[in-house]
Structure 1
Amino acid sequence: MPRPTSLLPALVAAATVTGLVVGAAPATAAPTPWVGGRSVPASAPTAPGDSPLRVTIEQLTPGYVPEKGRIELAGTVTNTTDEQWRAINVHAFVDDAPLTSAAEVAGTQDIPEDALVGDRLQTPGTFVGIGNLGPGETASYSISLRRSDLPISSPGVYWFGAHALGNTDEGRDEVADGRARTLLPLVPSGSGTEEGAIVVPVRHSIRHAPDGRLRSARRWARDLSVGGRLRELVDLGAAAGSTPVTWLVDPAVPDAVARLVAGNPSRTLADPGAVQGEPGGRATGDDEQLDSEVVEPGEPTEESEEAPPPNVAAGPGSIWLDRFESALLGDEVLTLPYGDPDVAAVEASAPHFYDQAVRRGGTELERWRVRGTPAVAPPSGYLPADALSVLDGEETVLLGDQALEEGTIRASAQVDGARVLFSSAQTAEGGPGPGDPLDDIALRQRFLAEAATRLLFHGRTPVLLTVPESFAPDSSASFWEGLQDVPWLELTDTASLPSGGPLAADGLDYPSSEELRQLDPDNFTVAEQLVERGAVLDSILPGTETVAAQTVDEALTSLSYSEQAQALESRIATGRSVEWIQRRLDKVRVRAPRGVTLSSNAGEFAPTVTNRLDQPVRVQLRTKSLGAVEVEDSDVIELAPGGRQTVLLAARATAQGVQYVRVQVTAEDGTPLGAAQRVAIRSAEVSRVIWLILGTGVGLLFLAIAIRLVRRVRRERGGATT
């Protein structure tokens, strides 16, 4: 008999309370939980994961109840105690009443390990003996069940798994000493077909040292190697083969891996054709900031930690790139904005960053011969409706269904003109305990259970699963094989999912906790500074445009969702990059006389510009009058590496006294680099009054001389007459 859906809250609450009580009470006092709408006794008190025999499920074929044929169940049993366990039997078990709603299926994750959720099968062939196990020993089991061995017939999702029972020196009881549980759907023929799509995300935190190198090279190497997070996700998608799969890619990730493979070069000021980085490539540590330039006296130094082995991420990164490129071909690709920026914070603080990230993301994936569909997909699954205004209208918005009103089962909608898909957040949490909820069998069966309940009880609403980034299946092939031959399931990509009807913007929930997690406006301020200073440095270096592009990339990755949890550290790191660039700009300097005296109201003075960079630069000297004086700007000045040039600047004073002018080194467009000097200019021009006085004085002098000469002549004539 199908259980009433209204009993689910009581089921979860009672079972949870039971788990708490039995952990402290004797076995004889264990209360009775409600599971599946019926009263069942709890087993002996056992904390989750502490069963003396640890049971796993490593094979379940098929992953649903077939109309006929067999179900193969296999796994391992491990003795986790210091005791000897003898005569161990492993029984298959199944519940006798199905789960009949998505809410009930989701509630299975809250059921404690020691709650009984099904009856062991006792008929021959439904259990096997595996003998004895010493402390720490492991043995395999395999059970082949006929369809007729399962006493179930009603449509729905059933608890299913294995119980292990054995003897110790204290004897044997009928309580399971170990359990492995999963979900097994039963969908009758003629029920129709359910659509489902699986999204594989490729995301990673990307941080830069002040010199532009990627930080955490060791972590990258670990994540790109076999068993690492990025490698496992790419292997998972590649294992899908011809099965449709949708990739969700931050283009900054393969770009970063390519840089690691190239030796993790620093930000280069050289011509783009020049070799970047050191010969042979050198990877950096978490805070390594290498600078081969001479440090001027008084300049801050950039201390480095011990560098890891050369090219520590190059090998695994090269293999990963090859697998990544081949895996994406032929599949649907949703392209995130470059760096996966916090869209809600971008909309609130600096919308232009979104446009930059979208353009950059599209061009980056073209390197991998991939054409993607623009997408926005907050990792939390939440996005405020206001943030939709920053979109171009062509994006696919991927949210979690937790953003919908509680209890809503919906796969897609049109919100303010945007296509919004809703991934099942609870499905992404995986299967029930006590095993790993995110092993390949657990997540696969949870997906099948969700698909079955939506098909049978929720109007055939498609199910969308975004694979958790922590998902690392033991067998990617097993995960897909269990989904490929399900007669009532049609796997597709997100582009093929039906478009949903309209949904009011206020139908999207955005908790205050999410708003508090958004990046601060200060993070955008310092990112703006990095972009602006990078563009200035780039503009004075002829023949290269790499610095501006690199700093834009670095700024975008500093605004990523991955930086939300450490926004302050990210802001500080970006600020250090700004300082690194500014120190390079400050190496183009100007020296001028502190005081200049003009011989009249106009004249010239000669400042000297020095380039202490290892690259040629094109700059100008521009002036700002701080008084009644005008000084012409210089023409463009081209300086070789380490070169200097003296420039004549024409000045004209319009008033008497000392006037001041600020001489600034700028880019050709007039943007200041930083270096400047104040010059005092004194005009030596004499006024007309002074010239009049001087002229009158000179005239009187000559008049006096003339009078004196006349008198002398008269005296001399008079003396001669006498």
Structure 2
Amino acid sequence: MSSRALHGLARQQPTPRRRRPRFRLVVEFLLAFVLVALGSLGPLGSAPPAHADETPPSPVSIHVQSLVPELPGRDDTVTIRAVASNDSDQPITQAQAVFWRSRPGMRSLSDLRDTVGSPPRDVSGAQIWTEGAYQSLTTNNQSPTWQPGEIRTFEVRAPVDSLGFPDAAGVYLVGAQVVGRLGGAPLGTQGQTRLLLPLAAEDAPVNAVPAAPANTVISAVILSSRPSMTEPGVFVDDHLAEELQPTGRLAQLLAAARRPEVSWLVDPALIEELTAMADGYVVRSANGEAPGAGQLAAREWLVEFDRLDTGRGFRVPFAVPDASMLQRADLAEVMTRADAAAGRLSDIAQLPLIAWSNDGIVDEAGIALEEEAEPRAILTSSPLASPALLEPLGTAPLINYTAATTAGGPEPGPSSQAHVRQRMLAESFLISLSEPGATTVRVIDTAEAAAADGGPDPSWTVRRTLPDLLQTRPAAWSGELAYAEPHRENELTEPRVEVLREVATNYQAYLRMLVDPEPASRTMDAALARSASSWWRVDQAGFDTYADPQVAAVDRLWSGQAITVTAQPSVLMSGQSGSFPMTVTNRLDQAVSLRLTFESFQPQRLSIPDMELEVGANQSVTVNVQPLAAANGPVRISAWATSPDGTAVSKRVWMTVEATDLGRVGWIIVIASGIVLLAATALRIRQVRHERRRAFDDHPARRPARAITEPPPPETAPEPEPRRRQTQPRGDER
């Protein structure tokens, strides 16, 4: 049931039933029956186009559950079981499911491809209104109206001999249509589905082709999925958990790989992601982070994978990069990193390499890039070549297959397992008619293809493996690959290529600045290979979701958040040389080698040489910076950290460094002042000593004795006055 149908059901209220006379209902039904039947009674009348009343998109979608028998005989009855959904926003009344067929047969692969590729309106056919070939989906009493969003199951059948097919062997179109009244519109076809029906000639046994020898069919199961892990244990979504469920895509592919005579190719990126899931993982999105739901399923899948027969096993390039896009964008080093990522998974790396891009889409330039890894062969899908094993364009042979074989069809969809199964049988049948003994390769990469390929093999085919094919002689061919304009349009758009180029360039610079790059290289090689995956050809919006965390990680590296430089805004130098401190902080979980780079606005006056340093994980280092000044005055300086190759990894810091000679004059003044102080002190000490010596000499006890003589006469000898001692004040003199 589609979302459109559910939406329509939510908006549409049940329409009240209007009572009309019973005879009028009967007349209207019979009139509608006659009008439709007159133009579509198979061999009794002309076959107007089945699309006449259909306008895309169809209001009703039909999902075929089975077609039985898959390879009918001329005496068998073909039964189609299906589920129909009202995808419109209006109710449908008088709905009938009816068997449909187209009588022109297909006799070659080109006929089949033309028919499958043509719009449904271009294919003429007829409805079969015999007993059992139609079924009412609405009834007048119990369910007169088919509401939007509601589903109806039905079964229609018709004998092969009533379909009017020619006696010759060929492939024919059968299917079912739904007719009814949409809203108040006239009775018309509201939806249809078509399937391919191989049919042997009138006189041939059932499930047999008279041509011999038998065809060889080689099935190669691709174990790969859209990338999701951005770093170990961190995923952008949980789609792998769904694919690992018993009915999921990867579970079905693994079951197909276990079958005998089936080869398998594994993507190392898938094994790495499932191993991380088995150890416990989280899903990180814009809404936050939540535990993943696929841990147990991943463990069980890996256990079963280890039991596969490695003799039938190969590996594809890590994350299956888009080789053609990478070569055209001059990003060949991404392929080298993908090879390095695969080499680290030792168990998987031992498997032989077969190069492959999603859907086998690759051109000559892409093949040249893939050959650099020396693959055993290159798996390609080219309608311009028919043999299974082709001579190499360079060094590796090409294994050719038709990608559309597992796409099912024809339109309108959806293509179910029944469509894919009938497509496989139809192509194999026509090859047996036109090229007896030919070898065809089927690449199985969907759940529908895995189930369809597991059905009983027809009598005209035998099974072989890829190792068997690689032992045969490659066939000569034109060397021209069908890499058409639509394939180029499906490559990543130019803005997305620029994102990929930026991530690759910055990762490279980041690894070069790590002291030990190996741990980070493991993560970055894998993330870069996943970013270039060919899976994004069919999901470019998915590329944006996956690449956003990579871009955010790169932005953190180069935006100045991971590495910072700090310093004083102003530095005064007392002379032509000196030093001042700067601090570099590393907030990364790995030690880095950096270069501290300086830029002077006036390098002729002052310059600072670059410095090399290592900073440990989540650590800071302080270094002494030594400027060289040739003149006095302030100079504006900027500084930042770079990787060893010169890529800036931090923001600039700005400072003013001023050189001056005042420091020399100051020292001269200090020295001169010291000399003056010493001299003054010495003079004062000398003066004090001199004064003390004089006072000592004038003391009476130190005067010299006179010669003994006669005293003078009394009348002439005056009385001597006492000598007063002269003293000077001491004060603070020094």
The TM-score with structure 2 as length reference comes to: 0.64
Matched, 1:217 2:231: no
Matched with 2:581 is 607
Matched, 1:552 2:531: no
Matched with 2:21 is none
CA distance in 2, matches of 1:203, 1:437: 23
Matched with 2:402 is 424
- Cα displacement (A) at 1:598: 4.6
- Cα displacement (A) at 1:447: 1.1
Secondary structure, aligned partner of 1:391? helix
Matched with 1:389 is 368
CA distance in 2, matches of 1:322, 1:328: 13
CA distance in 2, matches of 1:640, 1:164: 68
CA distance in 2, matches of 1:516, 1:496: 36
Secondary structure, aligned partner of 1:647? strand
1:244-393 aligned at under 5 Å gives the runs 244-264=261-281, 282-285=282-285, 287=286, 305-307=287-289, 309-326=290-307, 329-338=310-319, 340-364=321-345, 366-367=346-347, 371-379=351-359, 381-392=360-371
CA distance in 2, matches of 1:568, 1:620: 32
Letter in 1 for 2:504: E
- Cα displacement (A) at 1:591: 2.0
Question: What are the superposed Cα offsets for residues 283-327 of structure 1, whole Å, 9 maximum, x if unpaired?
Answer: 322x3xxxxxxxxxxxxxxxxx244x5333434444444455545
Matched with 2:184 is none
Secondary structure, aligned partner of 2:650? strand
1:46-61 aligned at under 5 Å gives the runs 47=54, 56=64, 58=66, 60=68
Secondary structure, aligned partner of 2:351? coil
CA distance in 2, matches of 1:216, 1:616: 24
Letter in 1 for 2:503: A
- Cα displacement (A) at 1:382: 3.7
Q: For the structure 1 residues 334 and 449, does the alpha-carbon distance in structure 2 shift closer, same or farther, using more than 3 Å as the test?
A: farther
CA contact (8 A) 2:390 2:399 kept: yes
Q: For the structure 1 residues 596 and 416, does the alpha-carbon distance in structure 2 shift closer, same or farther, using more than 3 Å as the test?
A: farther
Matched with 2:112 is 105
CA contact (8 A) 2:196 2:426 kept: no
- Cα displacement (A) at 1:102: 0.7
Secondary structure, aligned partner of 1:242? coil
Paired residue for 2:551, among 564, 575, 581?
A: 575
CA contact (8 A) 1:620 1:666 kept: yes
Matched with 1:197 is 218
Matched with 1:401 is 382
Question: What are the superposed Cα offsets for residues 372-393 of structure 1, whole Å, 9 maximum, x if unpaired?
Answer: 42313243x5433233332335
Matched, 1:518 2:539: no
1:557-706 aligned at under 5 Å gives the runs 557-563=530-536, 565-566=540-541, 574-582=550-558, 586-592=562-568, 594-599=570-575, 601=576, 603-611=577-585, 613=587, 617=591, 619=593, 622-624=596-598, 626=600, 627-628=603-604, 631=608, 636-637=613-614, 641=618, 644-653=620-629, 663-665=639-641, 673-677=649-653, 681-682=657-658, 684=660
Secondary structure, aligned partner of 1:487? coil
Matched with 2:723 is none
- Cα displacement (A) at 1:667: 5.7
Q: For the structure 1 residues 127 and 243, does the alpha-carbon distance in structure 2 shift closer, same or farther, using more than 3 Å as the test?
A: farther
Q: For the structure 1 residues 456 and 52, does the alpha-carbon distance in structure 2 shift closer, same or farther, using more than 3 Å as the test?
A: same
Q: Aligned residues, how many?
A: 589
Question: What are the superposed Cα offsets for residues 58-88 of structure 1, whole Å, 9 maximum, x if unpaired?
Answer: 2545x44679x989967468798977999x9
Q: For the structure 1 residues 194 and 111, does the alpha-carbon distance in structure 2 shift closer, same or farther, using more than 3 Å as the test?
A: farther
- Cα displacement (A) at 1:107: 3.7
Matched with 2:260 is 243
- Cα displacement (A) at 1:579: 1.1
1:85-124 aligned at under 5 Å gives the runs 98-109=105-116, 110=118, 112=120
Q: For the structure 1 residues 77 and 638, does the alpha-carbon distance in structure 2 shift closer, same or farther, using more than 3 Å as the test?
A: closer
1:25-174 aligned at under 5 Å gives the runs 40=47, 47=54, 56=64, 58=66, 60=68, 63-64=70-71, 75=81, 98-109=105-116, 110=118, 112=120, 135=143, 154-159=168-173
Matched, 1:184 2:198: yes
- Cα displacement (A) at 1:115: 6.7
CA distance in 2, matches of 1:57, 1:217: 30
- Cα displacement (A) at 1:254: 3.4
Secondary structure, aligned partner of 1:349? coil
Q: For the structure 1 residues 73 and 512, does the alpha-carbon distance in structure 2 shift closer, same or farther, using more than 3 Å as the test?
A: closer
Q: For the structure 1 residues 164 and 220, does the alpha-carbon distance in structure 2 shift closer, same or farther, using more than 3 Å as the test?
A: closer
Letter in 2 for 1:548: S
Secondary structure, aligned partner of 1:589? strand
Secondary structure, aligned partner of 1:283? strand
Paired residue for 2:503, among 522, 527, 543?
A: 527
CA distance in 1, matches of 2:608, 2:63: 86
* Gap runs ≥5 in structure 2: 1-31, 181-188, 201-207, 670-734
Letter in 1 for 2:276: R
Paired residue for 1:438, among 380, 399, 415?
A: 415
- Cα displacement (A) at 1:190: 5.0
Letter in 1 for 2:197: L
CA contact (8 A) 2:598 2:609 kept: no
CA contact (8 A) 2:95 2:178 kept: no
- Cα displacement (A) at 1:449: 1.4
Question: What are the superposed Cα offsets for residues 618-654 of structure 1, whole Å, 9 maximum, x if unpaired?
Answer: 5555344642556566574555745x44333444445
- Cα displacement (A) at 1:578: 0.9
Question: What are the superposed Cα offsets for residues 408-438 of structure 1, whole Å, 9 maximum, x if unpaired?
Answer: 644343352242333224423314466x563
CA contact (8 A) 1:160 1:184 kept: no
CA distance in 2, matches of 1:669, 1:597: 31
- Cα displacement (A) at 1:450: 0.9
Q: For the structure 1 residues 341 and 163, does the alpha-carbon distance in structure 2 shift closer, same or farther, using more than 3 Å as the test?
A: closer
Q: For the structure 1 residues 95 and 656, does the alpha-carbon distance in structure 2 shift closer, same or farther, using more than 3 Å as the test?
A: closer
Letter in 2 for 1:58: S
Q: For the structure 1 residues 28 and 401, does the alpha-carbon distance in structure 2 shift closer, same or farther, using more than 3 Å as the test?
A: farther
Q: For the structure 1 residues 127 and 449, does the alpha-carbon distance in structure 2 shift closer, same or farther, using more than 3 Å as the test?
A: same
Q: For the structure 1 residues 444 and 683, does the alpha-carbon distance in structure 2 shift closer, same or farther, using more than 3 Å as the test?
A: same
CA distance in 2, matches of 1:26, 1:128: 13
Letter in 2 for 1:238: A
Paired residue for 1:463, among 440, 456, 459?
A: 440
Question: What are the superposed Cα offsets for residues 222-269 of structure 1, whole Å, 9 maximum, x if unpaired?
Answer: 444454xxx3244134135433334454432332344344444xxxxx
- Cα displacement (A) at 1:442: 2.0
CA distance in 2, matches of 1:28, 1:339: 55
CA contact (8 A) 1:376 1:397 kept: yes
CA distance in 1, matches of 2:154, 2:297: 33
CA distance in 2, matches of 1:201, 1:426: 15
What RMSD, in angstroms, separates the aligned Cα atoms of the two structures? Answer: 5.3
CA distance in 1, matches of 2:317, 2:38: 51
CA contact (8 A) 2:215 2:461 kept: yes
Identity value in percent: 16
CA contact (8 A) 1:399 1:420 kept: yes
Letter in 1 for 2:237: A
CA contact (8 A) 1:79 1:85 kept: no
CA distance in 2, matches of 1:54, 1:620: 64
Secondary structure, aligned partner of 1:427? helix
